[in-house]
Structure 1
Amino acid sequence: MRLYFYCSSCQEENSFKTKAKDRFDLQKERGNFINERCRNCGTVVKRRINRVHAKPNKWLLIIGGLGGTFIALMLIFFLPLFITVFIIPAVFGIPFIAWRAEDKKASAFNKVMVSDG
């Protein structure tokens, strides 16, 4: 999952990857603060865990859609039409199902806050 924070100097949005599923896991992994360098101005940014937010990965939908289009074209040429009519919606539906799961993960991460104590 990719997590985002804003730089206090230039207000640029920065990101970093983590395997943490929620803020509790992120707190165990990194502590109460995130220390990252801004990619725009180079300032070291110190942010609380609660100031970090998650966004779903849009590349998953783009790559899955392109892959689905390629598979659908291959199926149209190599399978009979009556079978292709049933398979193509499933091929295009798989990337949207994967993106929805990613969106739910990001939403679950953003809903939970940790105490600063």
Structure 2
Amino acid sequence: MKLVTYCKSCKKDTRIKSNAATRPDLQMEKGDEFNVSCQNCEKVEKKHVNDVKAEPNNTIILIGVGIGIIATIILWSLFGAIGTVSVIIPLLFWYQQMDATKGFNSYMIRRR
């Protein structure tokens, strides 16, 4: 999952560098409000933790697809058609990303 916020100046999303899994984790790491430098226009804006949203990381999903394809080929040659069960691997990666994104976006911090 990647964390992004919207830049009011250039109207594009800016990525937040954090490994926080939940909004309270982000709040403990950065505080209620923190400065964000836009990657496109370099303008610094003050953002509240609730202004950050999570999006699924497609790179991790593609890695899952690659692992699934390799596992399917190996298991197909060893066990035959039962090896196609490894097609579930990319679905597990996708589900994990969607679940983490939903968990982050569904919880909001009370503004003071």
The within-5 A match list for 1:38-117 is: 38-77=38-77, 79=78, 83-89=79-85, 91-117=86-112
| Contact 1:3–1:54 (CA under 8 A) maintained in structure 2 | yes
Distance 2:95 2:49 in 1: 24
Runs of 4+ deviating beyond 4 Å: none
Distance 1:22 1:100, change over 3 A: same
| Contact 2:76–2:82 (CA under 8 A) maintained in structure 1 | no
Shift of 1:45: 2.1
Shift of 1:96: 1.1
Structure 2 unaligned residues grouped into runs of 5+: none
Distance 1:94 1:75 in 2: 13
Distance 2:40 2:104 in 1: 26
1:64 aligned partner, one-letter code? G
The within-5 A match list for 1:23-34 is: 23-34=23-34
TM-score, normalising length: structure 1:
0.84
Shift of 1:68: 1.8
Greater Rg, structure 1 or structure 2? 1
TM-score, normalising length: structure 2:
0.87
1:51 aligned partner, one-letter code? D
| Contact 1:5–1:53 (CA under 8 A) maintained in structure 2 | yes
Shift of 1:34: 3.0
Structure 1 unaligned residues grouped into runs of 5+: none
